[in-house]
Copies of this chain bind each other. A is one copy, B any other.
Amino acid sequence: MILKNLKSKGYRLTNARKIIINLLLIAGQPVDVFELNRLLIKKGMIVNKTTVYREINTLVKERIVKEIQFKDGKMRYEIQLKDNHHHHAVCQMCNKITPVVSSALEKTVNQLEENIIKENEFHIIEHSLEFIGICNKCEPSRAESTGLPDIKRRNPVPTS
């Protein structure tokens, strides 16, 4: 369906495009370009990084892929499946990503968006909500160590 949709819009179904879409579908969680490249190589395909970036931007533009930023300075990408709106809980230490779904939350957020549109006169296109924390697996090691978590961020927060 994704491919057909793209084709109908004049895009070509190139190898790179098809494989990238497939990998993102399989991934099931946000991946960065480095990871995507690793997956491509594993599939026996070497795709230039320029192409990967351009391809992803095309998919973002066509709203097939959604961009997500955690705090490590790189964009991550996730396939947008219909009726699959969700958020993420990210472990500061191991970067493990857990999807978070809550209809109650969506309801409140949608309500709020309507209010913002009315009151602040601001047209909202989308929102991004991320939870940052420490997963169960990393929690013990954090308690043991003298230091703070081995946060994988571009801008590391030093030990307090």
- Contact assessment for A127 and B128 in the assembled complex, using a CB-CB cutoff below 8 Å: no
How many positions in chain A have a CB within 8 Å of any CB in the partner chain? Answer: 49
- Contact assessment for A116 and B136 in the assembled complex, using a CB-CB cutoff below 8 Å: no
Interface string of A55-89 (1 = CB under 8 A from B): 00110111000010101010100000000000001
- Contact assessment for B122 and A57 in the assembled complex, using a CB-CB cutoff below 8 Å: no
Chain B residues lying within 8 Å of A61, measured Cβ to Cβ, are 157-158, 160
Determine if A2 is an interface residue (Cβ-Cβ < 8 Å): no
Chain B residues lying within 8 Å of A121, measured Cβ to Cβ, are 135-136
- Which of A18-26, A36-44, A103-111 contacts its partner? A103-111
The closest CB in chain B to the CB of A89 belongs to: B122
